[in-house]
Amino acid sequence: MDQLGQRLKAIRLRAGVSLRELARQADVSPSLVSQIENGKSQPSVATLYAFSQLLNVSVDELFEAADEAAAPIAAVRKGRRANGSAGSNGRMDPVHAWRPTEYANRVSVVHPSHRSSLTMAEGVVWERLAATPEHGVNFMKITYAPGATSSDGDHLSTHDGYEYGFVVAGEIEITVGGEVFLLREGESLGFDSSIPHVLRNPGPVQFEGIWFVHGREH
């Protein structure tokens, strides 16, 4: 979480956005942003998406080492929480499993011990399963502890693109718009990510799933 906080702070500062302004547009408290940047608190999935959209970077960049996230980025979008997200810049992951060559960018093989991961609030963990330079793509294993949810309070996730998920173990309750789906082992779904949605593990055991998130082409 220290590394994630450092990356968030570096991206925010490069964008010229104050802590209070980011908190205002993400509809969270300044103290929460400060705690996340200092590694003392964990963002929910919804808050993480809000930060990436407002700072005009892909979620991919949050998987990178702090010293790798040095490219200029666009300024924060003004007025409201952004609906679009920028594409990945194709940098390598923090364990340097892929070298900056054409072959390495096109082929990505990741051993479980070398996976980049993010731990979010409420017992949610993302593990990146492959890294290629394709824009706006996240291929992940996701884990939800019993009772864990992707939302904090009333913050539902909305972002460009589509999500596809497959349940490996346990069960997951997914609310998409006004519909609620309960998926168990072996079941799968896909949905438009621009529809407000939230994931929750209602069961007594850990949920594990394979998730693929793909942004729209612009």
The domain that holds 153 is classified in CATH as 2.60.120.10
Q: Which of 50, 68, 86 is the last residue of a domain?
A: 68
Residue pair 163/213 in contact by the 8 Å Cβ criterion: yes
Total domains, the chain:
2
42, 106: one domain: no
How much is the average pLDDT of 26-31?
Answer: 91
pLDDT band at residue 191 under the 50/70/90 scheme: very high
Average confidence score pLDDT of the chain:
77
Residues in the chain: 218
In a domain, 97, yes or no: no
Statement: residue 164 has pLDDT above 90 = yes
Output the pLDDT for position 122: 79
Residue pair 183/189 in contact by the 8 Å Cβ criterion: yes
Residue pair 55/17 in contact by the 8 Å Cβ criterion: yes
- 146 HSE (CA, 13 A, CB side): 3
Torsion of the alpha carbons at 43, 47, 49 and 50, rounded to the nearest 10:
-140
pLDDT band at residue 198 under the 50/70/90 scheme: very high
Residue pair 65/94 in contact by the 8 Å Cβ criterion: yes
Name the residue range of residue 42's domain: 2-68
Instruction: Tell me which residue of 59, 42, 33 sits closest to 159, measured CA to CA.
Output: 59
Instruction: Tell me which residue of 123, 156, 192, 147 sits closest to 47, measured CA to CA.
Output: 156
Tokens of 19: 């802590």
17, 121: one domain: no
In a domain, 86, yes or no: no
79 versus 32: which is more confidently predicted? 32
Mind listing the pLDDT tens digit for each residue in 46-96?
888 889 888 888 776 776 643 343 333 333 333 333 333 333 333 222 222
Cα 32 to chain centroid distance, Å, stands at 17
Please, what is the end-to-end C-alpha distance for the chain in angstroms?
32
Torsion of the alpha carbons at 67, 71, 75 and 76, rounded to the nearest 10:
-50
Please name the amino acid found at residue 163: E
In a domain, 108, yes or no: yes
Instruction: Tell me which residue of 131, 136, 132 sits closest to 216, measured CA to CA.
Output: 136
